[in-house]
Amino acid sequence: MKRIILIAALLAFVTLGVNAQVFITKTGFIKFYSSTAAENIEGRNKTVNCAYDVKNNNLVFKVLNKSFEFEKALMQEHFNENYMESDVFPNSNFSGKVTNAKDIDFTKDGVYKVTVEGNMTIHGVTKKLSQAGTFEVKGEKLILKSKFNVKQADYGIKIPAAVAKSFNESMEVTVDISLEKMNIKQK
Amino acid sequence: MKLWLKVLLAAFVLGIIAIIYVYFFLWNKPHTDFDKAKPDFSIQAEVLYNEYKTDAKAAGLKYNGKVLEISGNLSSIENKDTLIIAVFAFEQGMFGDQGVRCSFLPKYFEAGRMLQSGAAVKLKGVCQGFTDDVILESASIVE
């Protein structure tokens, strides 16, 4: 009898579905910063899409380039029209995994050092990326933070010759994204 | 006054005017005030989403960078510290609800927070493109 009840319970569990842990947001924050002789350049995006699937260890970012805001309208215009060519390449993406995911206890609040590896696509160019950062488990939230440099030339972003000498060859990217657990039923 | 002096003075004044023009109207030109902009298109939120979903490239050519007046029934309001977003959701995707997302201008934060889920609304904003949602920014409430 006990065996029948156990089998029935397992069947019910499988039939009704298993809740998988997926953390998502559409209001992630990414900032990039670069200094030039004339002035500093800073673009901020507060509507980054990000998802992390704990079961499959899949981490995905999707960024709409035109959602980067600049203090100066002219800078924003140059960023979209001349550097990123946002009409041709509207999105920047990252898809990868956490190499040390087994070190993270998603049931225990805490800050965990992580290394993320995957493919980053900017301006239509895809490159392998491996970067350090942190995952902070905070109740139903997962907070991702990282800071790293990206070379414009690696992604085919051309700086006009007239201003190239005064530009830094790389920009500092800051990631600060707070994800929330989404309930997903998988059959 | 000698002629060459007059020419020099005129060139100097023109130079000053040019510098002022470049500084105020180019280098420090203000961001577009989309609150005052007239819409290029008026469209139902669901129709807009379906156009992007069917052919994002074609829809982008048509709507990206344009001021859109969209109408529909609100699914939800997302209330973050520096962001108030009106959401018209039509299906589920990798990142949750998918549809049209409108980020309000700061002057509409208070009014945006008061909007109720299910309410029929008309919003105006600039279309920035498509990730898994159609993204409108600098949004204002029309009615």
Between residues A125 and B32, the one the model is more confident about = A125
Element (H, E) at A98: strand A91-98
pLDDT bin (cut points 50, 70, 90) of residue A7 is low
Chain A positions touching B137 (Cβ under 8 A) are 67
The CATH number given to whatever domain includes residue A135 is 2.40.128.110
pLDDT bin (cut points 50, 70, 90) of residue A18 is very low
Provide the mean pLDDT of chain A.
86
Q: Please give the pLDDT value at position B81.
A: 78
Domain that holds residue A31: 2-185
Average pLDDT rounded to a whole number, residues B78-100: 93
Q: Please give the pLDDT value at position A17.
A: 38
Q: Please give the pLDDT value at position A166.
A: 64
DSSP string, A8-74: HHHHHHHHH-EEEEEEEEEEEEEEEEEEBSS-EEEEEEEEEEEEEETTTTEEEEEEEGGG-B-SSHH
Binary contact (A91, B129; C-beta < 8 A): yes
Q: Please give the pLDDT value at position B83.
A: 94
Binary contact (A67, B85; C-beta < 8 A): no
CA distance linking residue A173 with residue A147, whole number of Å = 6
Chain B positions touching A86 (Cβ under 8 A) are 129
Question: pTM, whole model, 2 decimals?
Answer: 0.85
Q: How close does chain B come to A106, measured CA to CA in Å? A: 19
pLDDT bin (cut points 50, 70, 90) of residue A5 is low
Cβ-count burial B82-94 (b if 16+ within 10 Å, e if not): ebbbbbbbbeebe
A-to-B residue pairs, Cβ atoms closer than 8 angstroms: 67
Please state which of the ranges A48-57, A125-134, B14-23 shows the lowest mean pLDDT.
Answer: B14-23
Residue A16 predicted with pLDDT over 90: no
How many Cβ atoms from other residues are within 10 Å of residue B124's Cβ?
22
Give the C-alpha distances (Å, rounded to integers) separating A131 from A53, A58, A152, B54: 19, 15, 17, 35
Chain A positions touching B32 (Cβ under 8 A) are 73
Chain B positions touching A38 (Cβ under 8 A) are none
Average pLDDT rounded to a whole number, residues A102-125: 96
Report phi then psi at A161, rounded to 5. -55, -35
Give a three-class secondary structure readout of chain B. CCHHHHHHHHHHHHHHHHHHHHHHHHHCCCCCCCCCCCCCEEEEHHHHHHHHHHCHHHHHHHHCCCEEEEEEECCEEEECCCCEEEEEEEEEECCEEEEEEEEECHHHHHHHHHCCCCCEEEEEEEEEEECCCEEEEEEEECC
Q: How close does chain B come to A9, measured CA to CA in Å? A: 29
Element (H, E) at A7: helix A2-16
Chain B positions touching A76 (Cβ under 8 A) are 31
Q: Please give the pLDDT value at position A173.
A: 95
| Residue found by looking up tokens 């040390």 in the block | A100
Please state which of the ranges A156-160, B50-54, B108-112 shows the lowest mean pLDDT.
Answer: A156-160
Please state which of the ranges B19-33, B48-62, B90-104 shows the lowest mean pLDDT.
Answer: B19-33
Q: Please give the pLDDT value at position A163.
A: 66
In this prediction, does ipTM exceed 0.85?
Answer: no
Residue A11 predicted with pLDDT over 60: no
Binary contact (A66, B95; C-beta < 8 A): no
Binary contact (A62, B132; C-beta < 8 A): yes
CA distance linking residue B124 with residue B137, whole number of Å = 9
Provide the mean pLDDT of chain B.
92
Q: Which residues 93-132 in chain B show a CB within 8 A of chain A?
A: 94-96, 101, 103, 128-132
Q: Say if CB B109 and CB B84 are below 8 A apart.
A: yes
Q: Which chain B residue's Cα is nearest to A74? A: B27
Chain A positions touching B101 (Cβ under 8 A) are 26, 47
The residue type of A93 is: N
Task: Pull the structure tokens for residue A55.
Answer: 């079961």
Mutate to test the interface with B, among A29, A66, A86 (most CBs of B within 10 A): A66
| Residue found by looking up tokens 């559409």 in the block | A26
The percent of residues above 70 in pLDDT, for chain A, comes to 83
Counting the structural domains of chain A, the total is 1
Binary contact (A25, B27; C-beta < 8 A): no
Residue A165 predicted with pLDDT over 70: no
Average pLDDT rounded to a whole number, residues B7-18: 88
Residue A184 predicted with pLDDT over 70: no
Q: Please give the pLDDT value at position A14.
A: 44
Residue A23 predicted with pLDDT over 70: yes
Binary contact (A76, B135; C-beta < 8 A): no
Contacts of A149 (CB under 8 A, 6+ apart): A170, A171, A172, A173
